[in-house]
Structure formats: structure tokens, C-alpha cells
Structure 1
Amino acid sequence: MAVPGKKMPKNFSSSTSMGSDQDVKVYCQPCDRDGPRLSAHGYCKDCREHLCETCFVVHKRHTLSRHHTLLDKNSMPQTISPASVHSSQPDLTKPCTKHMKKMIEFYCWNHKALLCSVCVTLEHTGTSCKVSYIPDISGQIINSKEHLDILKSLETITEQCYKKSEDVKKITAKSNSSLTDVLADIKKFRTEINQRLDKLEKQAEDAAKAIQQENNKNLMTVETTCNDVTKSMKTSSDSIKHLNTSKQTDNLFMELKFAEEMIKDYEKSVNQLASFDVKEYNFIPNKAISNLLDKERSLGTLTEKSLKQRSPPPAVDVKSRQTSHQGQICVKASKDKDRCDITGMTLLTPGLLIITDWDNNAVKMVNTRSQSVTDQLQLDDKSWDVTSVTSTELAVTLPDKQNIQFISVCSNKLKMKQTLKVDGECYGISCCQGKLVVSFLYPAKLQILDTNGTILTTVRGKNIFSNPIYVTTNTNSIYVSDCEKKTITRLNWQGEVIGSYGGKTGPSGITLSNDGTVLVCDSTRNVIEEIAGDCSTGKVVLKDLNRPHALCWCAETSKLYFSCITKQNKHDNFVQVFKLL
């Protein structure tokens, strides 16, 4: 056993292997890692470390350790066991994702998050979270159950990825094969159209050529008759002049009588020539064909059938969420002539929110980090809803004009692009995998279109929709908020109803969270409710709100943005921000 107060040999270090016959003098272990070796003044039972006087005082004050059990100099262990001696500096070399200059040192059990010291100080204090220092809890991780479970999960996911890759490879080959047939069918159809048009063209050309031949034939008849008459008239005229000069009275008398008869005959011939009606012609295109080409926007439609093997999803129970108000963003701009009336919103990036302002005929770009309106595009009519088509393109519904306005986003500026005419008052809009899903009022219906405006599917029926005001989508489903039927309706991409959630009084804005649940505003009950993806269950996640209307979800930050429409500036000119965990 070591004698208290005995000095350590100079060549002794904390990494030295120690047996039962040689215990280490008690010294401050935290200081020993990166500072001078100081005598121990106390001991922490939770950290299992000896502390010098300074570390002992700080340990009682620090947020993470002030509740630890401390022993004074007289009560502390008088030796340092080999297990408690750190062989080297803890291997904490992973930088924090939020604070890159700091290393990850702690773990929050409440949020299951790796933290640096700044994270602990700012967001995960000891009063709200259970935080542990990683070296204090990592000792038992080697060959632990968690270690084996994680490895097994990684192997399982790897196998699933391989299988999924092979499955997708097979169905992609099948899909590409069908598209090869589609391309051949398109060529064949175009050839048939060309052949039919060639036939119609030949008919028109033959008709024109027949008229040309008739004109030429009539012209030849006229020229021949006129030449014969002219020649006969000249011969008769010359003969009469000669007989008159030579005073051959008998012959002159007879020649005059012959000429008299000939004139009568030729007058008839000339009069007959005057009856020829030569006409001028113009070509007037077939209006039916012309209108067809003007009206039709595609040569045909690609129908689709999923090759994915689907299984009905199990009923999902909506779990309780922790919520916290993150503040509000003022979206009132200097150009606005009226209070804001935010009816639609979408996120291009976690830092870029796009909103439609109905009363001010505007589309606005909002920086969520600086919490300010950075650009505003004035439209010539009221805009209702907005969706992102690509990372640089938006689509906005203009119900009164029955148009969808495309807008580009470049260098943090909004700019109008092409306009798509639709056949009704378009309100809700959502884009998924290059397809637009649009809800209409009067009559109520839902349409799936491509971005060129070709209608792929139409869903209508009083038993399905009454006032489908908003729509949201993912790769599996389409969800429609109907404020008159007071339901959320779920459809597949073939337009078939596959689920419905009722019991709501005033559903309006709707969005999807990253786990597939549906978040919907209920402006009558002043709540936001979360509904399972299969529409089996639902639960209120935010209540006591001020008539929430439009909303969107940010998966990266777990933040929910929503607007209120109360006809009061103090509510309507702001977008509310909540964090949902």
C-alpha cells in the first residue's frame, strides 16, 4: 500500500500498469489529464474521480455535476484504483454539427442527441435534460448488447438495400421495356396519322388538278374556235374586197350572201364561248382538323400501373409530441395595401419560406433565419396556394382566372414564368414526382396533371368532395382537406379513395410530416391536429390558437409554420413557428 504523502517516482505515469502491491498516490485526476498533478482534496462518487480543491469547488457549482455525491478529504478513498485511472486523453475528436469548432463530449438522454459544451449550455441545461459526459458512460459499450444490436440492424438494412436495389433493377428493366413499346406505339400512331393526312392531301390535290385540266381544256376550245373564226373572217373579207375592186358584181353578190350566213353562224359560236365561267380558287383548311391540333396538347397519354408490390399499411397510432413556441415572423411588407391574408405556404429550403398573400395579390419570399420578407412578387389577381415544383420553380393557383402561374426562384428573386390554363377554379395544389395535384371548386373535383397541363386523372363526385380547399401528397397517397364535408380524404395515385378521417369541424391547410403523418389546421376548433397516414387515428398537437389556416412542415428542423386568418393585424400579419418533437 502507498504511504500517504509519499511522492511518486519521476518515471511513473497514469498509464503505468499497477498491481495490488502498488497503489497510486491520490491526486486530482481531471488536472492530471491536461495540466499539473495536484493533490486530491475530495472525491466524486458519480464521476469516480479524485478532485483538487479548485475542481472540487467547481464540481459543486457546474450545472452538469452540482447534484453529484462528493466526499471531502477525510471521507474520500485514499488510493486510486487502476480502473479509475484514465490511460490517456479521452478520444473526443468528433466535431459538433452545430458548432464546428467544438468537439462532441456529452450525450442527452432525453433527446437522444450528441452534444458539445455549447449545446449543453444553450439548449440542454441540467434543469431540463439528463446529460452525461461520454467518457463516464462509454466504458461498458464494448461487446455490449447495444453494440451487437446496432451491428445486426446495420446488416439488416444493408441486406434490405441490396434486395431493394435488385428489385428496383428488375422492375426498372420491365418499365424501360414497356417504354420501348410505348415509343414504338407513338411512332406507329404518328405513321397512321401521316398516312391519313397524306390520303386527305391527295384528295384535295386531285380535286385542284381536275379543275386545272378542265380550265385548260376550255381554254383550248376557245382558242381553236376563235382561230377558226378569225381565219374564215379574214378570207371572206379579202374576197369581198377583191370582187368589189374588180367589179365582178355577180360573184360579189353571192360572196356577200355567203358571208352573211357565215356571220350568223359565227355569232352563235362566239356567244357560246362567252358562256364559259372561269373561276379563281382559295384553299380553306378543314376547321375540325385545325381546331383539333390547336386544342390538343399531346399526341396521347401514358397510362401507368405500379410494379411495386404493395401491402396495406398497418394502423398507425399518433404518438404524443413535445411542442414549444419558437416565436413568430412578421410578413407584412411595405408594398402591402391591406393586412396580410396568408392562404398558402411551402418551404423551398429550411431557410426559405414561400407564402401567398390573398388580399395583397402577392407571393412573398421569407428568410426564416433573418425572419424577414426578402422579396415580393405582385400578381394581377389573387393567389391561393403554392407548391414547389423543383428546387428553383414554384406553382401558384389563381382561382378567379382559372390559371396556374409558374414562378422561378433565382438569386433570391421571384420571377413570373409561363401560365397554365385549367378548366375550373383551382385552389389547393401539390407537386410530387413531376405531377401536379390540383383541387377545384364549382364543381368540386380533383385533377392529376403533368406540368404541361395534360390531364392524367380526374376525380369527382358529391359523395367524395364538396369543398376540397387544400391538398398535399407523397409518393404513396394524396390527402384532401374538405371544409364542407369536414373530412380528410386519402386517395391513391389512380384516384381511388382508400381512407377518410372525419370528426373535424373546419379543416383547412394540410401538410405531411417526415414520418408520414398528416398535420391539418382546424380553424373552427382553433387547433392543429395530427392524423395517422392511414387516416385511422388523430390527436390534437396544438390548441388554443387563433383560427389557424395555412401551414407547412420542415423535416430538417422539426418546425411547423402556420398562418392565422382572424381579420386582425396582430394575428394575420405574422407566421407562427412551433417546434414539434
Structure 2
Amino acid sequence: MALFGRTASPKFVSSMSRGSGEDFEIFCQPCDRDNIRLPAFAFCVDCEEHLCEYCLNHHKRAKPSRQHTLLDKQNMPQSLQVSTSQPDPHALPGDLTKPCYTHKKEMIKFYCHDHNALLCSVCVTLKHQSTACRVDYIPDISGYIVNSNEYRRIIKEIDTMTGIFQDTAGGLKKMTEKSNASLTDALAEIKKLRKEINQRLDAMENEAENEARSLKKDNDQRLKTAQATCDDVIKDLQESSDNIKQLNTSKQADRLFVELKATEQLIHENKKYMPHLMTVENVEEYHFKPNLDISALFENEKSLGTLTTKALKPPVNVSVKQYSHQGEICVSTSQDKGTCFITGMTVPTSDILIVADYGNFSIKMIDSKSYSIIGLLKLDRSPWDVTTVSEDKLAVTTPYSKEIQFVSFKSNRLKRKGTIKVEGTCYGIYCYKEQLIVLFKSPAKLQIIDLKGKVLKSVTKNILGVDIFSNPGYVTASSSSIYVSDREKKAVIQLNWQGDVTGVYRVLRAPAGLAMLADGSVFLSDYHDKSCSIKNIPGDCTRGEVVLKDLRKPFAICWCEANKTLYISSFTQYASADNFVSVYKMS
């Protein structure tokens, strides 16, 4: 864009002509006010007027207008509106009344196509003088905009954006309500815990008081008996003393002799009571010895519990994610003696699927690209669950041998790599950062075990002494939580790594396999005849969304984050279903 001013002195090739009778499409506006119609050679941005060659030269020389921004003939506005009266020098053309974003005292009058920028005259002068900039005077180009496609597009985008923010505002309102409700629940839990503690302490206090009263009753009875004995002896001795003294005074020798001998016998008989009466057993002191565990609890613990916060996320409708059926993997081999029962699965790499076949005592390695079995390892006892320990090692639970079998997988070959004994029939297993989380039945419990078999933590009951688990089957974990599916409780139980229950998802029929996703949510299979579905449960266990339904009794599941692929086994007791693993891909 070429500009007139100090830095550029264009030369006009046409000569100036005057004549009020001549008519030009674009003419000099100052001359027109003197009834002289001359062709325009330039445009003054500041004065907003077209100028002829003579007025242009004068404009450039006059001190008041020397700094004005001037547009040459090729870049000046190509239209004008002739005023019949003297214009207000401060009035703006048309509706150009929006202040410049940068120069607040200037109004927006120009548009740069190259930078998609609205400009004032100062912006044009300072930043858009390059010939590369295509700048237009807005009144010259705005005529098409009414009811244009651009108008309709912007209105549509406004409506869409408004809808998004309205939904977001609604979601924020719901989250606020949920946050407030959660605080109310938390405060209620605090009151409930305090009430339960008070009730338990009251019961323990009553028990201690009743024991003390029982001891006092026994002690009082002994004291009463001892006191009565003392009173009887004193009475007898006093009577004998009085009789002896009287007989001695009256000098009744015969009777005195008899009384003395009788009293001597009485004294001898009563001496045998003295050792018993003078022992400390007759009078006991009471001392209270506090339960050191309870004393230590209140001494070491500074609060009833920990009030934690968790960022609420806007509700996500997980059902919008599409899961397409990719096919089925046949997991049956010629070495199998019966129908497959795939009870555990893991994906150590993006192209390898490992399955535990409980029905055929074996671990099988599958190429997830070709859907072919590339490795097989027979075990002595039926395996239940399998987890990836490292880049070349697996851990497998064998319930009836009460041990965990380690298996290496290299070059499409599965090989045993030692075992560790555990405390009971072990079922679900999951490895997180070289720690094995293992589920047991009879009694139902969860243990965290290191890779050498050392029990790091054992979880069975909650703080009130109530059993947490009844029939736990599968387990998975994240950095903050452990999730356990329990068929008898019909729930997914969420715990922290200290073993405290932090959440429960209960609306289930027959919960089985679990799989952790990268977003912290969990897939759960429900193999009940009326469900036969896969649900997605958020990390806080507050709700669940069905993502796949009408499946063939889904049992064990496995999620490959790299391929966004979900593997699902079946438990129908029919080979037509149980000998296959279904494959679904998220899109």
C-alpha cells in the first residue's frame, strides 16, 4: 500500500483541470464545496476526504495537515458520498464509532486483509504501510456483509459457542451442588464416626464400671463377713472377761476355774481366725490400668480422619465414544482337553496379548495383529489371573497351589521363572511399580506383596472392624487408588494405598473383570444374564456408564491403551463363546 507523506513523494502524471460542469466518479471534496469538480488523486485518512492534485500538494505543505496519512490513487477509497451541507469535521462516516483496541482515542476505519486486523489511521501509519498489506477503507468493502455467508457463519458460531458455555455453566452448577453435597456428606460421616466412637467408648466404659462394681460387691461381702467375725469374737471375749472379773471378786473359785479354762479354750479357737482376718485380701484397693492400645491411639492420632479434596470434572458422557467390533481371537489349541475358560488377561506390549486359561491349565501368548497363538505354557494347576511385572516377566495366580508363578516371555516363548508361596487361595492380581496386589478368599482379604513374597500390607477390615470384602475377584490400581470387584457385595470397592475404603460403586449384578484406563477411569465387566455389559466407572466411583451391552456373558477384560483396544472373554460354558476373545476398538 503506497502512502503520501514525508517518506514518499508521488508524481502525478495528469494535469489538474477545473470545471463545474465536469463530472467524475471520485472527485476532490474540498473543491466541490466551492462548486469546482476536479478528479481525486489521493485520500486523506485524517480528514477523511478525497483530494485533487492541487489540494494534495497544499495538504502536504500546510503545517496543520503535514503529518496526515495520505493514500495514493491506487489505494484510496473508491467511493464517496457528496454532502449537500458543510460536514461536521469531527463526525465519523457511517457507523464507524468503535474505538481502536490500541489507540483508544482513534476510531476503527480500515481493515487489513493480510493480518485480518481492524485498524485506525494511526495503526495504518505505524504498522501497515508495507506494500504487502492490503488495506481497505471499511465503507468501501462493507456493502456485501448484510445477510452474507460470513454473517450467517459468525451467528452460527456464536450460537454454538453460547451453547457450549451454557452447558459448561450448567455443568459447573451441578459440580457446585455436588461439591456442597459431598461436604454435607463428609460432615455427616464425621458426626457418624464420632457417634460410633462415643457409643463404643460408652459401652467399654459401662463394661469397666460393671466389672468394678462386681469387684466391689465381692470385696464388700468379704469385708462384711470379716467384720461380723470380729464383732462376734469381741462380744464373746468381752462377756468372758466380765464373768471372770465378777467371779474373782466374789471369790467363787470353782466357777472361776471353769470360766478361766473355758475362756482359754475360746482364745485358742479364735486365734485361728486372726491370720485370715489380718491379710490384705480382706481389704482391697482399686486401680485402673488403661488399655494401652486405646491410649496410644488417642495420643498418636491427631484427628478423627483426613478430609481430602478431589477436583471435580465436568460430567463426561462416555457413551459418545464409539466401540467398534474388530473380530474374535480363537484361543483354543490342539493341546486343550476341554473348553477354554479365560479368567485373566494382560497386554505386556501393544502387539502381544497374554491369557490365562483356567479350564486347560495353561498360559497362552497371542499375536494381537494376526490373532494367532504364538506361545503356550502348561501349568501343574489352573491359573486364575495374570499381570505384567516387567518387559519380559509375568505373574500368575494359581489358587489351589496357594502360590504365584512367575513366567518369562521372550522370543515367543513362555518359561517358568520361580514361584512364591502366599497365605491362602489367591485369585485377582495386579502389579503396580514392582508391588503385587493380590486378592484372597477364605478369608477374604487384599495383600500388597513385594516380588520376593514379603507381605507389605494386609487389608481385611475397616476402622470399625467390619469385613471389607466378601468374594473379591479382580483388582486394578492407579497411583492413588486400588479397585476391587466383589461379586457377593455386588460392588467395586475403591481403597487408598493405606487400605482405607474411599469409594464404592454398588449398582451391579455380577461384577468381574477390571481394566484401568489412562484417564483414571475403570472398565468393569458384568456377566449376569440380565446385564452382559461393560461399564465405564470414573475414578471416584460415583457413577457408571454402559459402553457395551448385549455381550456373551463378559468375564475377564483387558485394555490396551496404545491401541485403544478392549479384549473381552466370555463365561457361558459353551465352546462357541468361551473359546474366543472378543476385540473392540475405541474410535
- TM-score range (shorter-chain normalised) is 0.3 to 0.5
Q: Compute the TM-score of the two structures, normalised by the length of structure 2.
A: 0.46
